[in-house]
Chain A
């Protein structure tokens, strides 16, 4: 989780990722930010994020991203 927040902070340092649950819905992250984060996640955790994972629900909060990463690590 800490590493995920670190990645997120590198894109938008001003956000409180412990509480924010609307990164996509509130347009805090635009598509550029999402793709940047996805690239970092794939490198860092050696996972494969594909088109079907690219839905707002998976990127709305640090917690949702952590769950996505966890699920993909298990696969």
Chain B
């Protein structure tokens, strides 16, 4: 069942009615049933994957807490008969056992994720290797199961929970069914956000009274999400893929335009999808974590990644970057380099080494092909360069009498970040690494024959699509700009009711009239739904 379908609208309506009709204590049960019904629509074969994750994480959390409880009770009971050092040693040995449970659960769950995401790629490589080296055509068949819905998202969310339990950040969820809801909550299963238990659990399990303003606000957000998805992303999709498919013909200006258009497409697609998810959740009185904060206004790539797909970035920061940066081996290497008269390099090791892992993994999270890893590593290189060249850039600014907060500097920096991020996405829209570099080369050719007078003649985009997409993008950025001073929806709701109706009607008309419902394109699918 897609987010953008009559079925989904009916499904949410029924779920909402049942949710608010039932007594507060049982409302989470409605959400659990709804989530499993929704999940089942994607194929009942997939239940096994989400079930294994739910059961294994629940059991591991219970085991870790039980072991910790036993160790604490032992130390407490022993009282003064144990020395301080003995207590410390006992605690450490208990922690080690808990770590084994944690690691086993992580291996199982990330193993499943790796299997469903990368097995076919591995099989393809093995088959190719056997063919080229041994001439064997006895191919291993590909596995046929499609990627289970939301597996990257719910695996990360659930493993984050388990690591938090290991670190005693909060107590585990003892009710198995409530925990199952945390793993499977339907609005966020398709493409996130990747929630944290500490944030989502109170929202799920402390239901709020029915309030029409929440339904209205959620509806606005859903419509705004559909606007971004259907009017911008889907309208540009054909132009982007068509131009990329014939990049040799469209080299130069048109290719650059397609690259920038893809940035708009993926932002509209992903942030629009998140808006729909957040809007649906809001109708149930549930606030989801925000995943975007006007990323295209970022002054550097590092800042961009704090504002784009925020919940994935913070996941990697908290569970990969920080643990590695305080890892004893990494620290020891850093210290040893510092003591060998390279203090500047030594200081950077606990930052840049973990970051390299984060970016390689972020690349792999996005896809199994090499182009995604290369994309991740390019991000890494640009972030490192941005950090290392910051003093130089400050110096240049001083020489030119420019200040950090000058409007021109802000525009320059945001423009540069947008440009770089757009070009990096070539890896996303190309068939492989070589293809991405070919596309990059084509950007610089074809300018000799570029005909500015007949610029539109050679554009692979019908005039009406161009006009609609351009106006919609301007509206999207205007709303993003306005959101800097607080929620745009709240401001609309403070206007007189007739004016509010005008806004809502315009939004509905825009989505239904200008949304792209053309043939041959699956408006229902989201790019991030495939991750």
Contacts and interface: CB of A to CB of B under 8 A. Distances in A.
A35 B325 contact: yes
Contacts of A49: 326
Interface in B447-491: none
Contacts of B169: 52, 55
B197 to A, nearest CB: 14
A54 B323 contact: yes
A30 B169 CA distance: 21
Interface string B312-333: 0000011001110111000100
B15 to A, nearest CB: 34
Contact of B326 (A30, A36, A54): A54
Majority DSSP secondary structure for residues of A touching B: helix
A30 B88 CA distance: 33
Nearest to A43: B335
A42 B331 contact: yes
Given A32-B351, A35-B351, A52 B334 contact: no
Interface in A1-49: 27, 30-32, 34-36, 38-39, 42, 49
Contacts of A30: 302, 306
A39 B350 contact: yes
Interface residues of A, number: 18
A51 B166 CA distance: 11
A30 B314 CA distance: 11
Given A32-B387, A51-B167, A54-B318, A27 B306 contact: yes
Contacts of B416: none
A50 B326 contact: yes
A52 B331 CA distance: 16
Given A32-B387, A49-B326, A54-B326, A39 B347 contact: yes
A31 B317 contact: yes
Say whether chain B's binding surface is mostly helix, strand, loop, or mixed.
Answer: helix
B168 interface: yes
B350 A35 contact: yes
Interface in B278-325: 302, 306, 317-318, 321-323, 325
Given A31-B321, A42-B331, A52 B167 contact: yes
A27 B313 CA distance: 14
Contacts of A38: 325-326
A51 B326 contact: yes
Q: Which of A36, A39, A50 has the most CB of B within 10 A?
A: A39
A51 B322 contact: yes
Contacts of A31: 317, 321-322, 325, 351
A49 to B, nearest CB: 6
Given A51-B326, A52-B168, A54-B323, A36 B351 contact: yes
A12 to B, nearest CB: 14
A27 B302 CA distance: 12
B337 to A, nearest CB: 12
Interface string A39-75: 1001000000111111100000000000000000001
Residue picked from A30, A35, A53, A55, most chain B C-beta under 10 Å: A35
A51 B323 contact: yes
A34 B317 CA distance: 11
Nearest to A39: B350
B331 A54 contact: no
Nearest to B91: A75
Nearest to B169: A55
A24 to B, nearest CB: 11
A38 B350 CA distance: 10
B322 A54 contact: yes
Nearest to A75: B88
A52 B267 CA distance: 34
Interface in B138-182: 166-169
Contacts of A75: 88
Contacts of A34: 322
Contact of A39 (B167, B306, B321, B334): B334
Q: 9 nearest interchain CB pairs? A: A51-B323, A54-B322, A52-B167, A35-B325, A35-B351, A31-B317, A35-B350, A49-B326, A32-B351
30 contacts: A27-B306, A30-B306, A31-B317, A31-B321, A31-B325, A31-B351, A32-B351, A32-B387, A34-B322, A35-B322, A35-B326, A35-B350, A35-B351, A38-B325, A39-B331, A39-B334, A39-B350, A42-B331, A49-B326, A51-B322, A51-B323, A51-B326, A51-B327, A52-B166, A53-B326, A54-B322, A54-B323, A54-B326, A55-B169, A75-B88
Given A27-B306, A31-B322, A52-B166, 19 more contacts: A30-B302, A31-B321, A31-B351, A35-B322, A35-B325, A36-B347, A36-B351, A39-B347, A39-B350, A50-B326, A51-B167, A51-B322, A51-B327, A52-B167, A52-B168, A54-B318, A54-B322, A54-B323, A54-B326
